Structure 1
Amino acid sequence: MSSNTSGTTINTKQSKISGWLAIPAPLARLFKKFPLLTYPPNELPARSPSARDVPTLYVFISDRDALYGLPSFNPNCLKWQTFLKLAGVAFRVTSSTNHASPTGALPFLLPPSSPKPIPTSQFEEYAAENGITKILDAPSLRVEAYESLLDDRIRNAWLYALYLSRPNTALLSRLYITPVSASLVVRKTTLYNLRNAAEADILRSLGTPVVNAGTLYEGARDAFEALSVLLGDDDWFFGMVRPGLFDAKVFSYTHLLLDERLVWEDWTLTEILMEFPNLVAHRDRIFESCW
């Protein structure tokens, strides 16, 4: 008698539990017609690394371009991305920002076996130890003299063209502002801050109270002309047999000015560069070599 009572109690509990878990009749009929399926995970893109034993280079780049390892749209990031490629270092790229960087700036390299990022100041040493192509040293005194052309005149003109030239606002927004936020207020604030920072950087470099576009572009023309004379009929700067860091630095500007994926509305700086065919050909050689 007690056994039957116990069985009845268990059955009653089971019926209550099944009542709580039961699928409503309309949904049950729907699932019978359209059963749930678990799909296998999507395969990685064909050009993604097959192994995760390569370092990751964090740069300014769109997520889509990062999947295919395309050039960064930021000159400093592109310089080091190109240098590592020229040195034969295996790596993959991913999109990041200065705010997300543990070093406070991009790019930085994160080895797969270490949580400690490698800053750009150590890239040449890393490339020497991990690359398959030895990057030859160019004459240091000559490099320093010509680097000033890139760091001052060409960079100032670049900052003006991208950040301050109003026709290029759409390009600036696509690269640096739209990815930040969908909020109109945030985007306007970001645009204002970027333009103020660029103007302050230019004024600090020039030591003048106002920014003059004509002066900046003429300075860039003089710099490109000097670089064109330096390159001459050689394939690489300073008569080197292989491209080096200086070649990568020049490429970081010339490629972005000539890249058709960047829709420039103010073409002034690009048109100035195109006055020097050997610099354009230099850009093409590096692009074909690396990408």
Structure 2
Amino acid sequence: MSSKTHGVTNPKPSGATGWLTIPAPLARLFKKFPLLTYPPNELPIRSPRVRDVATLYVFISDQDALSGLPSFNPSCLKWQTFLKLAGVDFQLIPSNNHASPTGALPFLMPSSSPNSFAAPLPIPSNKLEQYAAESGTHKISEVPSLKLEAYESLLDHRIRNAWLYSLYLSRPNSALLSRLYVTPVSASQIVKATTLYQLRHAAEDQISRSIGTPAVDSKRLYDGAREAFEALSTVLGSGDWFFEAPEPSLFDSTVFSYTHLLLDQGLAWEDRRLTEIVSEFPNLVEHRNRILQKCWGQGLG
């Protein structure tokens, strides 16, 4: 998400989201000194310098990374799942966008050895499909692009917009947002307040640009998400995988990255509107459970 901020000059209409209320001194500071996006840092110091296995850097807690559990971030979980489906051997390292040499998560560092003459270059997410094809042990189903475009648009816009609203802007989910993205940043209350402001501002800005209006209406977003999930349920039908593919594809991983996180009881959603929408479609729930079993086995709720 971008960290750029701008002022709000018009009051929000009824039903639209409001800005994060922050202490007045911080608000004045933001007006005088707009927040900047700094260039990415070098690899984290704790990154292993010699790797006999590839390393995937994602949003995840330290404990969950050690256990190889799913990331709590949809973009990271999409590629984590896809690599597992492709049979790529990798370990997880907790990270963040500012610590990424590519400027965003996830990214992957290929395996290396002490005899390597040059350090491997990080692989950004848009190159992971090719990496999986070259390094994985399982063949991933390919879906004709003409079938994908309309359904990918549903995921990239309607479902993503509702996700952003639910996690970042819905007040009942503030505790979850803080646990995932704010508390790990710093113990400083000022830093936490600043981080929360940035996250909510960036989410609202992304939604506004996607829908083409400054007014963010939660009901319209959730209605749009329901229509999108209904369309996905229809195209999945009674099959195991989307588009009647013999094995799961990248598209299956993308759908799973949202349905799993919305159905994951461990996240403790307070605003459960999106969770309830997904639950309306049993075949999407079963699809999520199938990938969960295939990639992580028993034991995840």
Give the TM-score taking structure 1 as reference length: 0.82
Partner-residue secondary structure (3-state), 2:266 = coil
What CA distance in whole angstroms lies between the structure 2 residues aligned with 1:98 and 1:135? 28
Structure 1: runs of 5 or more not aligned: 1-50
What CA distance in whole angstroms lies between the structure 1 residues aligned with 2:51 and 2:204? 41
Match of 1:211 in 2: 216
1:121 to 113, 126, 132: 126
CA drift at 1:125? 1.1
Give the alignment's Cα RMSD to 1 decimal: 0.9
Percentage identity across aligned positions? Answer: 70
Give the partner amino acid of 1:241: P
Match of 2:36 in 1: none
Give the partner amino acid of 1:76: S
Match of 2:105 in 1: 106
Q: Deviations over 1:234-277 (max 9, x none)?
A: 00000001001000000000000001110100000000110000
CA drift at 1:112? 2.4
Partner-residue secondary structure (3-state), 1:53 = coil
What CA distance in whole angstroms lies between the structure 1 residues aligned with 2:141 and 2:268? 35
Match of 1:230 in 2: 235
User: What pairs with 1:45-60 in structure 2 (closer than 5 Å)?
Assistant: 52-60=51-59
User: What pairs with 1:77-226 in structure 2 (closer than 5 Å)?
Assistant: 77-113=76-112, 114-226=119-231
Match of 1:42 in 2: none
What CA distance in whole angstroms lies between the structure 2 residues aligned with 1:193 and 1:289? 37
What CA distance in whole angstroms lies between the structure 2 residues aligned with 1:242 and 1:74? 24
User: What pairs with 1:33-44 in structure 2 (closer than 5 Å)?
Assistant: none
Larger helix proportion of the pair: 1
Partner-residue secondary structure (3-state), 1:210 = coil
Give the partner amino acid of 2:234: V
Match of 1:254 in 2: 259
Match of 2:62 in 1: 63
Q: Deviations over 1:171-220 (max 9, x none)?
A: 00000000000000100110011000000000000001210000000000
Q: Which has the larger radius of gyration?
A: 1
Q: Which has the higher contact order (CA 8 A, sep 6+)?
A: 2
User: What pairs with 1:19-30 in structure 2 (closer than 5 Å)?
Assistant: none
Match of 2:75 in 1: 76
Partner-residue secondary structure (3-state), 2:57 = strand
